[in-house]
A and B are shown apart, each in its own frame.
Chain A
Amino acid sequence: MKWVLCGLTFALSVVLAVATVSIRAGNTRLRLELAREFRSIEARRMEVGRLSLQTAEHATPERLCDRLRELLRAGGVVKTQESSSWQ
């Protein structure tokens, strides 16, 4: 009987060790994912900053005016009426 108890205790300790390792591995995996998510948010925040500056630069009165002139020079048709009923 005592050998059976010893065997069960050993099996329990192995199971506990394996469970601990697997929980820790799961934790690590989540932290890695979280880190990846965090980095991707950072990259997107960076992109937003860059694009907002770029947009502001492209939308200055001078550039919009130049674009309009280009369009007119290219013979583009400028609609003077509303293009759809809901506008």
Chain B
Amino acid sequence: MAMTVGERTRLRFFFGALGCVPLFLSGWFGWLQVLQAGEMKRPEGGRVALLAQAAEVQHERREHLPGARGTIVDRHGAILAMDCDAFEVRAEITIPRKHSADCKDARAYLLGMSRSLADALCRDNGLADRTAARAEHFTRIRDRIEAAFAWKDFPADGPLPAGAKRVREILVDRGVAVLSVIEALEELDRDQDGVLLHMQHDHARVYPEREVTYGLVGYVEDKPVLSPAGKLLAYRETALAGLEAVPELLPGAPGEREFHVDSKSHRFFTGVGRSAASPSRVESTIDLELQKAASRELERQALAVSGDAKDRPLWGALLMVEIATGDVLAAASWHRDVKHPRGAAFTPYQLLYEPGSIVKPLLFAYAREHKELDWDRSFDCSSTGADHHLDVPEVGGRRVRDDHGCGILTPHGILVNSSNIGSVKVGSLLSRDDWRRYLDVFGFERTLGLQMPAELVGYASKKGWLPGIKPAAFKKWTGSSYSIGYEHQVNALQMARAYLTLLNGATRELRMVRAVEVDGQRRERSVVAGSREFSPQTIEEVCAAMRDVLTDAQESTGRHVVAAFRKEGVELQGLLGGKTGTAKSRTTIKGKGTVEVRNASFVGFAPAEAPRYLVVCVLQRDDSARFYGGSYAAPPAVRLLLEALRLEERRRLGQGPQVSATPGSSGRSPRVAETGQAGR
């Protein structure tokens, strides 16, 4: 079949044109690999190696999967704090060409984008006030977009200024975990031009029982990490209070996931990748039910002191410890003038007070054990005058006052009457060295060692320990003050530890973490016990006196609380033991200067014959009016002890906790669980 000349020419032209393609490709390849020496400059300034590997990397991405912070549970496994999966949403916003010709148009486009993003974030059906939430989101996103695009530098009209960026990335929100919000954001990503959303894996810290565990469990915040030159390097999660400071809670190794992106930066699935390390688990000693009861009782008592808010106690602390192990079962904190617990001192270990008479059983046990105090010895505690005073000859004639006239008393009687005169006489048996050892044995100047941030460690007044002070002067002033719980400051947990030592007969430490599980391995925290200090006989004698404090006898300082509970049908006599304390002291209050305060305190234990639970309560009131430990600090402490016994019995029978029958006394506000992003 012969072809015409025209046909031949057309075919030659066609195949000739086809032959140019490999020629062009060869030329291009030669230009890149030979003339450009295998590298190409990118618009951002960097150079990219022209290899197959580099081509792969161009569309490969790696997603960082941060490890979760550990979970904190109570002693029965109830969750107190945990990390929940959530997204950190970042938006890459591009001003489209059609809107970038005019500044007014560009600004309107960016405002519209802020509104769309805010609308998507409000697609949460659980939001109480959607309008307020939308306004808040809109303001925040608009401000971020404005800052990212330097929008303020745009002229009112006309084209965008030279050098103005058309593409910027902003943080939309953190801790996004609501499905409807995620779907709304994905819809926006799919349908709206000029925005590309990156959903990065993150965690939101959740505290299910927040209202009752704020200071105890604590919280974390991101703190900036700066270089020596002051440049911001990163943010590091830092625990500012409570159990969150346990080092094992730090997140484990992060995971990683690879994916590919298309020309429009949409992601391709390439597999599940490597997961982050599973979070550690911290088993605290807290009993959530007792913690609720402690918070409820402390608040109820503080509010009951006065109907007028300004006459209520300044602060209060109520805590419970298991005597056998030193486990802190509950620790509640209350403040009068604090609007939000974040930033407020956690009263059980971040506030100090002068303990007053609740140190007397400790002193008597020490004197009985180490100074051979005869438990049958009689002390003349007679006083004179309307203020029941006596210039005690044993301490150089220092004037000491009692609350009521006492007469001749044995050490047992002194404790039941809480006689200051008797206590000073017993305290006079101790030398300066004895007092030093007394402070050491009961740990009044020693840290709790619980690894809790911002602990305020108690201290004894330095004045009495100056080298120039003579023994007689020490005994007259410092020793006699120590005997009745003055001239030294303690926190409530230190007081609990001192009684733990007394009731166990050996120096003991408190425990707030029972065990830690890291990488599937559970490690128990051992119970810390020191040297033997008190014989069983001494412990029994002191406990007997404390049992008699809670009787209806005329001289016992706990008679009011016994009578009050009897009216409610509860007989405390023989059920509990305790000691009341009332101290008059001075403290500095911000905005008020130095003011006179009263510390009402109570320490108790249950059951009376074989103590298992120890409770300490302290309320401080900035008022000179009478404010007694037996009337104010004892009731919540006693209620908490009764609750512990009741709960123990219910658990033994396999029953759950019982909810208070009193309306409004559940100790919980009707808020939902706090979801803290912890600034991440």
Contact = CB atoms under 8 A, between A and B. Distances in A.
A58 B672 contact: yes
Contacts of A43: 179, 182-183
Nearest to A48: B179
Given A28-B268, A54-B673, A45 B206 contact: no
Main DSSP-derived SS at the A contact region:
helix
Given A63-B670, A66-B668, A49 B208 contact: no
A54 B179 CA distance: 14
Contact of A62 (B186, B208, B266, B667): B667
A3 interface: yes
Given A49-B84, A49-B85, A57-B672, A44 B262 contact: no
Interface stretch (A15-23, A32-40, A74-82): A32-40
| Range for the number of chain B residues in contact with chain A | 35 or more
A32 B261 CA distance: 9
Contacts of A35: 259, 267-269
Contacts of A10: 18
Interface in B637-680: 656-659, 663, 666-668, 670, 672-673
B651 to A, nearest CB: 14
A8 interface: no
The 8 closest A-B pairs by CB, nearest first: A35-B269, A62-B666, A47-B179, A57-B673, A43-B182, A65-B659, A34-B269, A61-B659
Given A57-B208, A57-B672, A63-B670, A31 B269 contact: yes
Contacts of B84: 46, 49-50, 53
A32 B268 CA distance: 5
Interface residues of A, number: 32
22 contacts: A1-B1, A6-B15, A28-B262, A28-B268, A31-B268, A31-B269, A32-B267, A32-B268, A35-B267, A44-B179, A46-B84, A47-B179, A47-B182, A50-B84, A53-B82, A56-B79, A57-B672, A61-B658, A61-B659, A62-B292, A63-B666, A66-B670
A4 B657 CA distance: 91
B177 interface: yes
Contacts of B658: 61
Contacts of B670: 63, 66
Q: Which one of A32, A43, A54 has the highest number of Cβ atoms from chain B below 10 Å of its Cβ?
A: A43
Contacts of B667: 62
A64 to B, nearest CB: 8
Contacts of B270: 31
Nearest to B18: A10
Interface string B261-295: 01000111110100000000000000000001000
Contact of B668 (A40, A53, A62): A62
A47 B666 contact: no
Contacts of A45: 85
Given A49-B84, A53-B208, A62 B269 contact: no
Nearest to A52: B84
Given A32-B267, A46-B84, 12 more contacts: A31-B260, A32-B269, A46-B86, A46-B177, A46-B182, A50-B84, A53-B84, A57-B673, A60-B668, A61-B656, A62-B292, A63-B668
A47 B177 contact: yes
A69 B177 CA distance: 32
Contacts of A62: 292, 659, 666-668
